[in-house]
Amino acid sequence: MSDLDLAPLRRALISVSDKTGLVERARQLVDASVEILSTGGTLRALNEAGIAARDVSEVTEFPEMMDGRLKTLHPRVHGGLLGRRDNGEDRSAMADHGIPNIDLLYVNLYPFEETVAKGAEEADCVENIDIGGPAMLRAAAKNHAWVSVCTDGEDVDAVLAAMEAHEGHTTLELRKRLAAKTYARTAAYDAAISNWFADTLEDASPAWRAFGGKLAQPLRYGENPHQNAAFYATPENRPGIATARQVQGKALSFNNLADADAAFELAGEFDPADKAAVVIVKHANPCGVATHDDLAVAYEKAFAADPISAFGGIVAMNRKLDADTAGELVKIFTEVVIAPDADEDALSVLSGKSNLRVLLTGGLPDAKQSGWLTKTVAGGLLVQERDTAMISVKDLRTVTQREPTEAELADLMFAWKVVKHVKSNAIVYARNLSTAGIGMGQTSRLEAARLAVRKAEATAEENGWDEPRTQGSVCASDAFFPFADGLHAAAEAGATAVIQPGGSIRDEEVIAAADEAGIAMVFTGMRHFRH
């Protein structure tokens, strides 16, 4: 290793919002003969702990002012971070103007993301936009040939380890890694701020869009073993896979996380105060969904809806997992269970399946909470709002001669919530608040309807039923029927009521077919495509 690769570390500037582990790490730096410069609350915390640290204002000869808005934006700070140690002109300028070398910068930024997540007032959010921190971080990262830049305590630990290994020096490879991490951190920080501004301005398409997140966990691979992958958590405050605590089981895969997210988002559509809901997902699509007063019964109904597909699936629920439900879960192979919480007896039951991944999220996603979804395409990003649209019974418009019964209405509303989370084209049959057949991802709506029936027939055979549960069911379609053939398929399957957006130029033909079959049909005026 050349002398250029190793850089001495003799002076550090520390200014942190999150002071977790600050004193311990600062003490290790002092023990390594590092001089510490600091500011404001960080300086007070260090001094109170008996750690010698100089106020940055002693270096700048300029007082902190404007409630801390102005303290480090000074040439003696930025010059100390940016000065090239091998450049004669830089060294002369630093000597002429009293600019000290700063070899380590440790700054974690004002908690803007956390402030927004707590629902703070606009003024508080603005005050938590860090200016000096990102400026210093970017300067230090640019000068990584000599400066170690740290955005969190783990970075400082890595620097301390390098210093111990190299007699008070850091390696170029480490400094490069820290610089790369720093630019990603400031980018994510600025992304959170710019998106907050866009939201407050109600600007759905700002001139520039950026999204950023923090590594939650590296993944063995992506959808396939030859694809690299990792999971990053965004600043969005939304219970789900990003907030989940894994209490047992193997490491989660890319597909596990995607499916768990799909399952839990659908579970969040159902109010736990009303009924328990269980969702079973396979390959990002629900294969069984049911609600009931009792969680274990809801699971049994969801499983019975498509036991073949449920094998190796992902199970989500909207209530705390209990022992009875856990006892049913462990009867077959399940990849992941995700729930807001679980009692100790349930966890004890699940522990018998050591490979079963169990995620506890601490809450349910709010189906009405706005947010932005992104999809990468060649050369860009597609960005859209989360589909938060909901309807109630009063929003339905009956278009047939027959009105739906109360029981049909309950099943129609249930099926409409489910179809929203099924890949288009999507058809969902439901009976007694559980799915009876689901057709998804087809290139024609007729084929989706036929697929749902075929799956219902296979399920009836698997369960030993006399007939498929599409008999006497209701049918939900995520978009309008372009032709009457889809309605005919629903009638042939045994559906007695249909819910769909309406809006086709052939609506009258479809309505006529429903009337002829004695089917009640309601229009929502709302489409739920999920490509």
CB atoms within 10 A of CB 336: 27
Residue located via tokens 């971080």: 137
**What is the structure's pLDDT at 530?**
85
What are 275's two structure tokens? 């009924």
**Segments in 390-506 forming alpha helices (H):** 406-419, 445-463, 485-493
Letter for the amino acid at 31? Answer: D
Please tell me what DSSP assigns to residue 357: E
Please tell me what DSSP assigns to residue 471: T
Give the domains, in start order, of the chain with CATH numbers.
6-200 (3.40.50.1380), 214-360 (3.40.140.20), 392-523 (3.40.140.20)
Q: How far is 265 from 287, CA to CA, in rounded Å?
A: 14
Does the active-site annotation cover 142? yes
Q: Are 96 and 5 in contact (CB under 8 A)?
A: no
- Contacts of 285-289 with CB under 8 Å at 24 or more apart are 285/422, 285/423, 285/438, 285/440, 285/441, 286/262, 286/418, 286/421, 286/422, 286/435, 286/438, 287/313, 287/435, 287/438, 288/434, 288/435, 289/418, 289/434, 289/435
Residue located via tokens 């890694």: 177
Beta strand 427-430 pairing with 474-477: antiparallel
What does the buried/exposed string (b/e) look like for 344-370 if buried means 16 or more CB atoms within 10 Å of the residue's CB?
A: eebbebbeebeebbbbbbeebbebeee
Letter for the amino acid at 256? Answer: N
CB atoms within 10 A of CB 211: 18
Q: Are 521 and 498 in contact (CB under 8 A)?
A: yes
DSSP 301-347: HHHHH-HHHHTTEEEEESS-B-HHHHHHHTTS-EEEEEES-B-HHHH
- Region of 473 (left: φ > 0; alpha: ψ -120 to 50; beta: rest) is beta
Q: How far is 73 from 65, CA to CA, in rounded Å?
A: 11
3-state secondary structure at position 186: helix
Which is nearest to 57 in space by CA: 44, 39, 45? 39
Q: One of 19, 142, 166, 353 is an active-site residue; which one?
A: 142
Q: How far is 188 from 181, CA to CA, in rounded Å?
A: 11
User: Tens digit of pLDDT for each residue in 351-392?
Assistant: 999 999 999 999 999 999 988 888 888 999 898 989 999 999
Q: One of 166, 250, 283, 320 is an active-site residue; which one?
A: 283
Does the active-site annotation cover 275? no
pLDDT < 50: residue spans in the chain: 1, 3
- Region of 240 (left: φ > 0; alpha: ψ -120 to 50; beta: rest) is left
What residues have CB less than 8 Å from 5, skipping those under 6 apart? 171, 172, 173
Q: Are 162 and 170 in contact (CB under 8 A)?
A: yes
Q: Are 310 and 284 in contact (CB under 8 A)?
A: no
Q: Cis omega (within 30 of 0) on the bond before 425?
A: yes
Which is nearest to 159 in space by CA: 19, 28, 317? 28
Q: Are 53 and 47 in contact (CB under 8 A)?
A: yes
Please tell me what DSSP assigns to residue 435: E
Strand order in the sheet with 334-339: 245-248, 357-360, 334-339, 313-317, 276-282, 285-292
Beta strand 357-360 pairing with 245-248: antiparallel
Cα→Cα distances 237→147, 324, 344, 440, 441, Å:
34, 31, 27, 30, 30
**What is the structure's pLDDT at 236?**
86
Which is nearest to 299 in space by CA: 284, 310, 309, 308? 310
- State the SS3 of 97-158: CCCCCCCEEECCCCCHHHHHHCCCCHHHHHHCCCCHHHHHHHHHHHCCCCCEEECCHHHHHH
What are 242's two structure tokens? 């990003």
